[in-house]
């Protein structure tokens, strides 16, 4: 007997969580993930795995949630769906390295089902993606990260990467900061339903493959920069940029808002926030500096890869 879509996806994210945590521990060489299993008041629960104070990772979380229950009207409005209850399973991770020379990275992969008042599934979709947030612009890093994503997308359909890359640039956008992006992007996809062009199984396979290649896009950047020296000035700038990361997560991130509105576990939802952060008043980098160079790219997203780009 074959597994249902939801049960199969739950198995996938559990295995992916284990692999990512094992590989991050190996790279860090010092700290280990702690495991925190929790239950949600409205139904379901999850497993949060967090590492901190490591050789490389100042704070990282790789969380799984499998939750269900009543769908509040505000959440239904946010999701743009009609229904009275829901099921959601996903893996969400954020990695905050100690060194400002190593980028922060975020990723999540999720599956939703919505049910009517009779408990019959009325909607189902996949979503996810990953984005890179450097503190100093290294173009080779951005190219590698995007090329890894493009290679995965092209396996399914060559039109997906440019579409999802654009959606990522538009989504991870601090609109209240006049269009300053959180980082150099990646891909972002949501509400991917089965239709006449792509089946739900197509999106399931796409989502699972995107999770499977995540480490290929990120760990080479960690290994490239983990031994580079940095100054207190570099660290200060990292904490300024982390402030913008916090702003996005608390003001704009759909996952954060959905989790709070559906009685999710606050500690796990806010796991994404960095351990140290600054909110200096009207901070501006020096003209012509490496810090200003990063801001130029955040305000004007680039196309990082083309069809002939190779990856590390």
> What's residue 1's pLDDT?
53
CA 213/CA 151 separation, integer angstroms? 10
> What's residue 253's pLDDT?
86
Strand partners, 89: 66, 111
Let me know if 106 is a catalytic residue: yes
> What's residue 86's pLDDT?
92
Q: What is the pTM of this model?
A: 0.93
CA 277/CA 104 separation, integer angstroms? 13
Structure tokens at 65: 């949630």
Q: Cα dihedral angle (281, 284, 286, 290), rounded to 10 degrees?
A: 120
Q: What are the residue ranges spanned by the domains of the chain?
A: 5-299
DSSP track, 160-188: HHHHHHHHHHHHSEEGGGTSEESSSEEEE
CA 298/CA 98 separation, integer angstroms? 21
Residues 99-112, buried b or exposed e (16+ Cβ, 10 A)?
A: bbbbbbbbbbbbbb
| Collapsed DSSP state (helix, strand, coil) of residue 130 | strand
> What's residue 241's pLDDT?
97
Which one is catalytic: 106, 144, 146, 225? 106
Instruction: List CB contacts of 66: < 8 A, sequence separation 6 or more.
Output: 10, 44, 45, 46, 88, 89
Residue-by-residue pLDDT tens, the chain, 312 positions: 567 999 999 999 999 999 999 999 999 999 999 999 999 888 999 999 999 999 999 999 999 999 999 887 777 777 777 778 899 999 999 999 999 999 999 999 999 999 988 888 889 999 999 999 999 999 999 999 999 999 999 999 999 999 999 999 999 999 999 999 999 999 999 999 999 999 999 999 999 999 999 999 999 999 999 999 999 999 999 999 999 999 999 998 887 887 787 777 888 788 889 999 999 999 999 999 999 999 999 999 999 997 444 444
Question: Minimal CA–CA distance to 193: which of 122, 257, 244?
Answer: 122
Q: What is the homologous superfamily of the domain 5-299 according to CATH?
A: Coproporphyrinogen III oxidase, aerobic (3.40.1500.10)
Structure tokens at 312: 């590390």
């Amino acid at each position: 007997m074959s597994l249902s879509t939801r049960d199969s996806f739950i198995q996938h994210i559990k295995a992916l969580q284990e692999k990512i945590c094992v590989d991050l521990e190996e790279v860090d060489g010092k700290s280990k993930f702690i495991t925190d299993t929790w239950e949600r008041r409205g139904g379901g629960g999850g497993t949060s795995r967090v590492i901190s104070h490591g050789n490389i990772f100042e704070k990282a979380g790789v969380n799984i949630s499998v939750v269900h229950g009543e769908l509040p009207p505000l959440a239904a409005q946010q999701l743009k769906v009609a229904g009275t209850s829901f099921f959601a399973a996903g893996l969400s991770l954020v990695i905050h390295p100690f060194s400002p020379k190593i980028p922060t990275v975020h990723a999540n992969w999720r599956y939703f089902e919505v049910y009517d008042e009779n408990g019959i599934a009325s909607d189902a979709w996949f979503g996810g993606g990953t984005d890179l947030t450097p503190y100093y612009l290294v173009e080779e890093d951005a190219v590698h990260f995007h090329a890894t994503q493009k290679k995965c997308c092209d396996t399914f359909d060559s039109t997906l990467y440019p579409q999802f890359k654009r959606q990522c640039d538009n989504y991870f956008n601090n609109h209240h900061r006049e269009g300053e992006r959180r980082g150099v992007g990646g891909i972002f996809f949501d509400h991917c339903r089965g239709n006449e062009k792509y089946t739900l199984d197509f999106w399931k396979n796409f989502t699972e493959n995107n999770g499977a290649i995540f480490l290929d896009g990120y760990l080479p950047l960690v290994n490239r920069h983990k031994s580079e020296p940095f100054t207190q000035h570099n660290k200060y700038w990292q904490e300024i940029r982390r402030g913008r990361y916090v702003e996005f997560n608390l003001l704009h991130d759909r996952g954060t808002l959905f989790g709070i509105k559906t009685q999710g576990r606050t500690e796990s939802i806010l796991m994404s926030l960095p351990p140290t952060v600054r909110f200096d008043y009207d901070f501006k980098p020096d003209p012509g500096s490496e810090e200003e160079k990063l801001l130029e790219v955040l305000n004007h997203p680039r196309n990082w890869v083309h069809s002939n780009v190779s990856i590390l």
